Amino acid sequence: MKRTLCKTDKIRFKSEFDQIRQNGEKLVGSSMLVVYAPAPDHHLRCGVICGKKYSLLAVKRNRARRLLWESFRLLRESIEIRHLLLIPRRRMEKADRRQVTRELAGLLARAGLLPQEVADLPPEC
């Protein structure tokens, strides 16, 4: 069981981000937005977008990115194969990692991409 993320797990190119935003479906939560689209390469991949609209301070943007990447890493084993985009909202500034993981699990379960049992008790590593 692989517990770290590598380059192949991450969406890195602007064209891929644009394609997911154009063809994907949105899930809106209180502290994040999730966009998911079918994976043409049959591999679960994720990208995080956190621009200056979130915060002008790089420290806050980087914290939001870390929270989202860690939540994705913990839930990755159970997520159905798709391409995901995770976009934080300002409310995430006050959230801790457990809250972010719970919300991401709930959103993915609502879309049918994650089993409800995992969403009810997300991993707390």
pLDDT in tens, the chain (125 residues): 467 888 889 999 999 999 999 999 999 999 999 999 999 889 999 999 999 999 999 999 999 999 999 999 999 999 999 999 999 999 999 999 999 999 999 999 999 999 988 888 877 75
Three-state SS at 7: helix
Which amino acid is present at 29? Answer: G
CATH of 8-110, one of 3.30.9.10, 3.40.50.300, 3.40.50.720, 3.30.230.10: 3.30.230.10
Hey, which bits of the chain come out as E strands? 25-28, 32-37, 45-48, 83-88
pLDDT at residue 118, as a whole number:
84
Contact between 28 and 114 under an 8 Å Cβ cutoff? The reply is no
pTM of the model: 0.92
Boundaries of every domain in the chain? 8-110
